Amino acid sequence: MALLVLGLVEFVRGALVFSMLPLYGQYIAGYSLGVIGTAISLHYLLDNLLRIPAGWLTDRFGGKWIMTGGITLSGLGVYLISLRLSPTLFMLGAALFGFGSSPLWPTVITGVAAKMPLKQLGEALSKVFIAWLVGAGLGPVTVNFLIGHSYTWAFLALAGALFLAVTLSIFGEFPRGLGEMPSLKGYLADLWEEILSLWVLYPGMFVQTMAVGVLMPVITIYARTVFGLSTGQFNYLLIGGGAFTVLLLLPAGKLSDRLGVKGPLVAGFFAAAICLALLPLQRAVFPTLVVGAFLGSSYSLILPAWNGLQAKVVSPEKRGTMWAIFMTIEGIGTATGAFIGGKVWEGFGHAAPFFVSAGVLAVMAVFYSFNNLQKLMKT
């Protein structure tokens, strides 16, 4: 049920961010791109900033009602967006959706890590990312079909998805809180000690999402500039690449469980760096697709190994809080990468973002080749 809840909320998030907020905001509500961009930024800002307190609340009180209340608040945000009464309410709706979705990932990851045996953790986390990718991918595709008929139908679909998510969260099993915890001062002191002990992981958290973020503002423009692909054609390619990655996540998670996290992680970083360096050298669609398929394979190695490692290094009583910190660092990496990608494109040309992304992943591959990750594991 936790995976279904995650997939449903990410379905709505993907539909809002990539379709509804830009299209409905501009063509139906008549808001400026500045208002729409601010709404999307507020959504991600609140989601990231509130994950840490949401993770702490999950550790102390459990995940069920925190997540149920959060999804309900997200539903209120979608309702405010649909009213198109004013730019302020439009932005407030997007912000409320971010506020409400902030407990989602800490709660789901904490629940998976608590329930699964160590030898199956990589496989289990692969299923989490499959739920995320499928939900986030189907959201824009479904909504783009529905808005061809009516925006009302699109909003009803989003409301239905959130209603189902709330229902599942009420009746599903989620992490229970620890009840009595140490004093806040003692808890923060222990938390700070654990944060410092895991410093070797923070570069990887930041850089792997930064590498993706570098390409976010330029990849669609690159496809149109170099290959002459329309947005629709490029979307089909993204769906195909995403499906390829999803299919490989589960066997890659099992491989990580069998071999340990270091081998698949380092191999994935190296392979992704090579593929990213090769992409801008292609001048035809088919070889680009082949390289892209290998890139998807590389990330299917990285994701379960990396997240399996994160799940194994945190103390059980701090899982929600630590995962929230991890994901906040990753979110900052994505935002930083997007800024760098646009600047590098403007300053050095269309191939430069790919080489920058490849370079940082190659550095991470070397860095983790010479670090003993096993000694960090607590579970």
pLDDT tens profile 144-180: 788 878 889 999 999 999 999 999 888 877 666 555 5
Q: What is the Cα–Cα distance from 97 to 107, expressed in whole angstroms? A: 17
Domain range list for the chain = 2-172, 187-376
The pLDDT of residue 48: 79
The pLDDT of residue 177: 58
The pLDDT of residue 169: 87
- Contacts for 191 with CB less than 8 Å, ≥ 6 apart: 318, 321, 322
Architecture of domain 2-172: Up-down Bundle (1.20)
Single-letter amino acid code for the residue at 304: P
Q: What is the Cα–Cα distance from 258 to 119, expressed in whole angstroms? A: 7
C-alpha distances in Å from residue 320, one per residue of 81, 220, 327: 30, 35, 11
Four-way CATH pick for 187-376: 1.20.1250.20, 1.10.10.10, 3.40.50.261, 3.40.50.1100: 1.20.1250.20
**Domains 2-172 and 187-376 alike in fold:** yes
CB distance 87 to 195 below 8 Å: no
> Can you tell me which residue has the tokens 């090579």?
274
CB distance 346 to 221 below 8 Å: no
User: pLDDT in tens for each of the 379 residues of the chain?
Assistant: 888 999 999 999 888 887 788 878 888 888 887 788 788 778 888 887 888 788 777 777 777 788 889 999 999 999 999 998 889 999 999 999 989 998 888 888 777 766 666 666 666 777 787 888 788 878 887 887 888 788 899 999 999 999 999 998 888 776 665 555 556 666 677 777 877 878 888 888 888 888 887 876 677 667 777 777 665 666 667 676 677 777 787 787 777 777 777 888 888 899 999 989 998 888 777 888 888 888 888 888 887 778 777 777 777 667 767 777 888 888 788 777 777 877 888 788 888 888 999 999 999 889 888 877 666 555 4
Q: What is the Cα–Cα distance from 135 to 130, expressed in whole angstroms? A: 8
C-alpha distances in Å from residue 116, one per residue of 12, 89, 112, 315: 28, 42, 6, 15
pLDDT tens profile 193-237: 877 878 888 888 888 888 887 876 677 667 777 777 665 666 667
C-alpha distances in Å from residue 46, one per residue of 41, 124, 141, 261, 368: 9, 28, 25, 32, 32
Task: State whether the Cα torsion 89-92-94-99 is positive or negative.
Answer: negative
**In the chain, which ranges are continuous DSSP H helix?**
2-15, 21-23, 33-49, 51-61, 64-83, 87-101, 104-115, 121-147, 151-171, 184-197, 202-215, 219-227, 231-259, 262-278, 285-313, 319-348, 352-369
The pLDDT of residue 42: 83
